[in-house]
A and B are shown apart, each in its own frame.
Chain A
């Protein structure tokens, strides 16, 4: 009797099974490996941790990784929005092809992307030689890092903004126009606020991907200490020197910083989504 009453409290069956599965899965795939990172770091002791993460070379790499990732995400937010806009709003020959090209950075092995970018932007490459003629160096500088991060982050913004843009009722724009608003005002006050939550999600995803990116960056970056060395590369370097506690120390710092940034971005996103009356 009691059993049947309790099971009727949940309309959908299998709550306990699915919750258990979810927790187990998350633990095995995410939580336990992350915990191991913290445990390993703790074994190294506080002093070793501090020594590992406060050296100028490590700090420079962290600065580059987070700085370039944020800038790349910002660039992707702007141009991803533009790209999504063109794909949704205009009909042009080859639109379908462009649409599928957007996914390419998802699918391409990162090393291939890195080599391709390096080949083109190196001083002897197609674009690199043009830039070199104007005394601009792209590959083997922080600019190269930024370029690679922009490349791999682009699909995130396009793919998050695109569906929202497709669902946007044209009636809203017509209503705004009938009230006397100009194109720019319609975009600024009507369309943009509606897209903002999706845009922030795209920004967060693009940023998260960029912070962790390794394969496509190391070729084009040139990995010059203090200049174009990214934090994930520093972790690999420490691993190669068998300094496991040092590597995990750096990982902990990256983990916490990424978590804090994503938390802020997601809060912003939730806030703006709530403002347009969407349930989160």
Chain B
């Protein structure tokens, strides 16, 4: 089923949680709502579910305005971060709950319920746990049971609120893959909320990036990763190196240093911020060239396939700027880098944004490094 939200606004006191959000979720896709905490993603999900009502705007389910429909009648499956399983019921009774509370004339017989619950337990691969109580299960198992319970009523959409948020890293990764596989089997329109960019990029067909109650960018994981449209998106999707400066002819002036770039839309003299991901910065030991930024190596982590080098910019200014470079191990060895040595940082790829547009999300990126 398709979901559309149109001009949704929601305010809690003076805090604007959602500011005129309009989105289109096509049938059968798995979409991630991604953003930092407080960006309004959970509120949007709850409004779609009917657990919260918008101050203005509409929720359209399958072409019909569902804004006034009670959550009970919306036929949405909702999965909570902390599972929200009924503790006094067995796993079986939890999953059967949605079927047993149906009005008498719609309620299936106990036989059919039993068959259906057993099928669902098989689907989530936990059929041996039917008689256990939720307190006897691990976090990952609980979340799978919660999902089975939501699926029992054959919802038209599946909404998941930080479904893996309370799980440890290993189980998270496992469940992520499992959710993707399950979605490929069921093809039910699904939206899940997360603040973990890796999770969103890995699992979703499409990612919606949100910040301060507004949508920053929508696209496939490849699109948002390769062509971030705003400084916020660039900063949120991974580690970044950030340079404040002024645009020149084919370069960005950062203090007394300069970085080459090829973006032509930015007028010379404009205040800009420039981004490079750690693997897009190269280290040069030849200090004679004026290209690049002078920095001193603070720490070298030489394990794994790529080595990480942390540097401090050599600047006239008071504040210390930290940078991070990822480079192949062989390159690290051939450069003979050492803690404390002075080098130049030269970006192989630089993404430049004009400052005015960048200002709003600036503080977040600075914190994200």
Residues of A within 8 A of B (CB): 169, 171-172, 174-182, 185, 189-190, 193-194, 272, 275-277
Given the contacts A181-B97, A182-B101, A277-B133, A194 and B87 also touching, CB distance less than 8 Å: yes
In the complex, the answer to whether A178 meets B88 with C-beta atoms within 8 Å is no
Least Cβ distance of B310 to chain A in Å?
41
Please report the C-alpha to C-alpha distance between residue A31 and residue B90 in the assembled complex, in whole angstroms: 42
Please report the C-alpha to C-alpha distance between residue A172 and residue B80 in the assembled complex, in whole angstroms: 9
Is B78 in contact with chain A by the CB < 8 A criterion? yes
Residues of B within 8 A of A (CB): 49-51, 70-74, 76-78, 80, 82, 84, 86-88, 97-98, 101-102, 133-136, 146, 149-150, 152-153
New A-B pairs, 7, CB < 8 Å, besides A176-B101, A178-B71, A277-B135: A171-B80, A175-B80, A175-B86, A175-B149, A178-B50, A180-B153, A181-B101
In the complex, the answer to whether B80 meets A276 with C-beta atoms within 8 Å is no
Residue of B at shortest CB range from A196? Answer: B88
Residue of A at shortest CB range from B98? Answer: A179
Please report the C-alpha to C-alpha distance between residue A277 and residue B70 in the assembled complex, in whole angstroms: 31
A-B pairs, 4 with minimum CB distance: A277-B135, A179-B98, A171-B84, A175-B84
Show 10 A/B contacts (Cβ-Cβ < 8 Å), sorted by A.
A175-B78, A177-B70, A178-B49, A178-B72, A179-B150, A180-B73, A189-B86, A194-B87, A275-B133, A277-B88
* Residue numbers in A under 8 Å from B77 (CB-CB): 178
- For A171, A194, A275, which residue has the most chain B Cβ atoms within 10 angstroms? A171
In the complex, the answer to whether B133 meets A178 with C-beta atoms within 8 Å is no
* Residue numbers in A under 8 Å from B86 (CB-CB): 172, 175-176, 189-190, 193
In the complex, the answer to whether A179 meets B88 with C-beta atoms within 8 Å is no
Please report the C-alpha to C-alpha distance between residue A218 and residue B235 in the assembled complex, in whole angstroms: 77
In the complex, the answer to whether A178 meets B51 with C-beta atoms within 8 Å is yes
Please report the C-alpha to C-alpha distance between residue A272 and residue B88 in the assembled complex, in whole angstroms: 8
In the complex, the answer to whether A174 meets B84 with C-beta atoms within 8 Å is yes
Least Cβ distance of A26 to chain B in Å?
33
Please report the C-alpha to C-alpha distance between residue A179 and residue B148 in the assembled complex, in whole angstroms: 12
* Residue numbers in A under 8 Å from B150 (CB-CB): 178-179
Residue of A at shortest CB range from B77? Answer: A178
Least Cβ distance of A279 to chain B in Å?
9
Least Cβ distance of B155 to chain A in Å?
8
Please report the C-alpha to C-alpha distance between residue A277 and residue B146 in the assembled complex, in whole angstroms: 17
Give which listed residue, A169, A272, A276, contacts B84 with CB less than 8 A: A169
* Residue numbers in B under 8 Å from A194 (CB-CB): 87-88
Give which listed residue, A171, A181, A276, contacts B72 with CB less than 8 A: A181
* Residue numbers in B under 8 Å from A171 (CB-CB): 80, 82, 84
Please report the C-alpha to C-alpha distance between residue A276 and residue B89 in the assembled complex, in whole angstroms: 7
- For B49, B72, B149, which residue has the most chain A Cβ atoms within 10 angstroms? B72
Least Cβ distance of B166 to chain A in Å?
12
- For A174, A179, A182, A277, which residue has the most chain B Cβ atoms within 10 angstroms? A179
Please report the C-alpha to C-alpha distance between residue A272 and residue B133 in the assembled complex, in whole angstroms: 13
Give which listed residue, B49, B73, B87, contacts A276 with CB less than 8 A: B87
Residue of A at shortest CB range from B78? Answer: A178
Please report the C-alpha to C-alpha distance between residue A225 and residue B142 in the assembled complex, in whole angstroms: 61
Please report the C-alpha to C-alpha distance between residue A23 and residue B102 in the assembled complex, in whole angstroms: 55
* Residue numbers in A under 8 Å from B149 (CB-CB): 175, 179
